[in-house]
Amino acid sequence: MQIKAQSALFLEKMRSEKLDSFKKQISDIRMDLNILTPTNFNIIKVKLLDLALSDSVLCEYVVEGIIEKART
């Protein structure tokens, strides 16, 4: 019973850390799009492409962020 409880705690901690990491990546996407200028375009482009290629959900956030920036 103790092992089951410990494994449940471990899994919850791992989910929490993954969620925190995901939130940080989304925050990084927003920040990069906010500081995008013609002079740092190539640097930001590489960072956003790396994030987009790492996960399909992050790719959606990158695309949505770019579209939103184009609208404003």
- Flag whether the pTM goes above 0.85: no
Q: Is the distance from CB of 59 to CB of 53 less than 8 angstroms? A: yes
For 23-59, how does the pLDDT look when each residue is reduced to its tens digit (9 = 90+)?
888 888 999 999 988 999 999 999 999 988 888 888 9
* Residue 62, in any domain of the structure: yes
For residue 13, give every residue at least 6 positions away whose Cβ sits within 8 Å of its Cβ, in sequence order, or none. Answer: none
Q: Which domain holds residue 39?
A: 21-71
How many domains does one find in the chain? Answer: 1
* Residue 38, in any domain of the structure: yes
pLDDT band for 1, please (50, 70, 90 cuts). low
